């Protein structure tokens, strides 16, 4: 812009020089008649006002011209009609998922009927990183409030797989304690230390797996061209299993009397006849599992209950055991023989409200939930047995 003004000023200066009055032809005048010559300083002062006046006029004309040009441009812009661009609203036919969801892949139409294709791309605000398979075990430190079922669910494993590889638990999920370090296997199964003379077929048969699964598991790093294992190597047996100790059998089933069929060969005959159950209900106010469900190594369900919450008889029957103490880790425990082949067990109680051989009806308060025995936090350990063997309580409670 500055150079533009300079060009205009130069043009006006050149135009002024053209029309500047030129001096006439000089005529020799006798010295006697020659007018007196003004001093140089006086001549300069007389000519300067004319030059300054012309410069001021040039600048004024330049400013007026620029102002007119800028004003004309602004006026022209203001008279133009705006271009309206409309985006079509998403409809169900266009494949939108819900109202207010941006539509991708639709053209943007302008007022003149033209259309600009948009980029087809699925909106994704968060980058999803695919989960990669894990082939090695990791160490997990148990925190207060942890439970075996929750830990297994976190790593997408069965709880018995954690029992298989952690011998410090002694096949009992109730041995879980804060600060304990657990080995978490990469997949369901167990680890086996290879011995001299072992073969893939014999080990697979022993742990109910297959030779191909052992050989092809990447974590075992077995050469597929020459599948061999050095004795002393810890090998993962995918899908493998072994027998777990049934800690529940340490507490014998107590039947109400002879020939009731409730206790099997291990039953003790302690009480006479009494009420017979026709159905079973929940033994606690909550129906939620707090830590361990039914499965190998835990032939019961742990029902959510706070310290002191009421515990109810699941059905009519006779109390055949009401005993305080450690009781193989059961703590304060109550057993009820329901007279129809079923016995129920209520463990880790904080208090017991019934005595041995007491008849009870379904829903009667027999004690309060607690944290006695080998327990990791207050809850109700509930078992159902038939013929002295445990079954899943979910199969009978309503």
Largest CA distance in the chain: 172
pLDDT of residue 96: 46
Determine the average pLDDT of the residues in 303-332. 95
Q: Encode pLDDT of 32-57 as tens digits.
A: 455 555 444 444 445 455 667 778 88
Determine the average pLDDT of the residues in 71-77. 80
Q: Encode pLDDT of 192-235 as tens digits.
A: 999 999 999 999 999 999 999 999 999 999 999 999 999 999 99
pLDDT of residue 268: 62
pLDDT of residue 151: 92
Residue 352 · residue 195 · CB < 8 Å:
no
243 vs 21, which has greater pLDDT?
A: 243
pLDDT of residue 94: 46
Q: Encode pLDDT of 346-364 as tens digits.
A: 999 999 999 999 999 999 9
Sign of CA dihedral 153, 158, 159, 164: negative
What CATH superfamily classification does 247-395 receive?
Glucose Permease (Domain IIA) (2.70.70.10)
Mean pLDDT estimate for the chain: 81
pLDDT of residue 5: 59
Inform me whether the pLDDT recorded for 284 exceeds 90: yes
Q: Is 9 exposed, middle or buried (0-12, 13-18, 19+ CB in 10 A)?
A: middle
CA–CA distance from 174 to each of 88, 326, 348, 376 (Å)?
A: 62, 13, 11, 6
Q: What is the CATH number of domain 138-238?
A: 3.10.350.10
Instruction: Please give the Cα distance from 212 to 46 (Å, whole number).
Output: 117
350 vs 29, which has greater pLDDT?
A: 350
- What value, to the nearest 5°, has the Cα angle with vertex 101 and ends 96 and 107? 65
pLDDT of residue 78: 76
Determine the average pLDDT of the residues in 83-92. 56
> Which of 80-89, 174-183, 237-246, 303-312 is the least confident region?
80-89
Taking the model in full, what pTM does it have? 0.61
398 pLDDT tier (thresholds 50, 70, 90):
confident
93 pLDDT tier (thresholds 50, 70, 90):
very low
Determine the average pLDDT of the residues in 327-347. 94
Q: Encode pLDDT of 108-133 as tens digits.
A: 555 555 555 556 666 666 767 777 88
pLDDT of residue 98: 46
Centre a 10 Å sphere on the Cβ of residue 342 and count the other Cβ atoms it contains.
21
Q: Which of 353, 327, 362, 142 is CA-nearest to residue 251?
A: 327
| Sole residue written with tokens 């020799």 | 28
Tell me the domain boundaries of the chain. 138-238, 247-395
Strand runs labelled E in 31-111: 85-86, 108-110
Q: Is 377 exposed, middle or buried (0-12, 13-18, 19+ CB in 10 A)?
A: middle
Q: Encode pLDDT of 221-230 as tens digits.
A: 999 999 999 9
> Which token pair is 112?
């003149």
- Start-to-end CA distance of the chain, whole Å, equals 91
Residue 252 · residue 267 · CB < 8 Å:
yes
């Amino acid at each position: 812009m500055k150079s533009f003004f300079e060009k205009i000023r130069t043009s006006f200066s050149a135009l002024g020089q053209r029309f500047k009055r030129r001096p006439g032809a000089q005529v020799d005048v006798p010295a006697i008649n020659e007018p007196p010559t003004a001093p140089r300083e006086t001549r300069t002062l007389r000519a300067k006002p004319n030059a300054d006046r012309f410069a001021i006029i040039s600048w004024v004309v330049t400013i007026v011209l620029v102002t007119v040009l800028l004003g004309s441009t602004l006026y022209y812009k203001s008279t133009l009609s705006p271009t309206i661009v409309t985006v079509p609203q998403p409809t169900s036919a266009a494949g939108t998922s819900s109202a207010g969801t941006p539509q991708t892949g639709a053209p943007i139409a302008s007022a003149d009927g033209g259309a600009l294709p948009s980029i087809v791309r699925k909106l994704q605000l968060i980058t999803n990183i695919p989960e990669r398979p894990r082939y090695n075990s990791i160490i997990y430190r148990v925190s207060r409030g942890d439970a075996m079922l929750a830990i297994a669910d976190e790593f997408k494993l069965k709880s018995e797989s954690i029992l298989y590889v952690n011998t410090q638990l002694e096949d009992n999920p109730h041995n879980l304690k804060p600060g304990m370090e657990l080995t978490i296997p990469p997949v369901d199964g167990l680890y086996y230390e290879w011995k001299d003379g072992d073969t893939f077929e014999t080990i697979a048969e022993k742990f109910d797996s297959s030779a191909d699964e052992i050989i092809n598991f990447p974590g075992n790093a077995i050469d597929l061209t020459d599948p061999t294992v050095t004795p002393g190597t810890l090998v993962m047996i995918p899908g493998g299993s072994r027998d777990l100790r049934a800690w529940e059998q340490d507490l014998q089933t107590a039947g109400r009397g002879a020939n009731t069929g409730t206790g099997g060969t291990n039953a003790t005959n302690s009480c006479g006849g009494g009420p017979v159950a026709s159905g079973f209900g929940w033994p606690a106010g909550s129906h939620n599992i707090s830590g361990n469900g039914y499965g190998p190594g835990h032939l019961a369900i742990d029902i959510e209950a706070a310290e002191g919450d009421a515990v109810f008889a699941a059905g009519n029957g006779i109390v055949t055991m009401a005993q305080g103490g450690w009781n193989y880790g059961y703590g304060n425990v109550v057993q009820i023989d329901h007279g129809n082949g079923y016995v129920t067990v209520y463990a880790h109680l904080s208090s017991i409200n019934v005595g041995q051989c007491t008849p009870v009806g379904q829903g009667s308060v027999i004690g309060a939930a607690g944290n006695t025995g080998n327990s990791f936090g207050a809850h109700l350990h509930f078992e159902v047995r038939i013929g002295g063997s445990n079954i899943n309580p979910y199969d009978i409670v309503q």
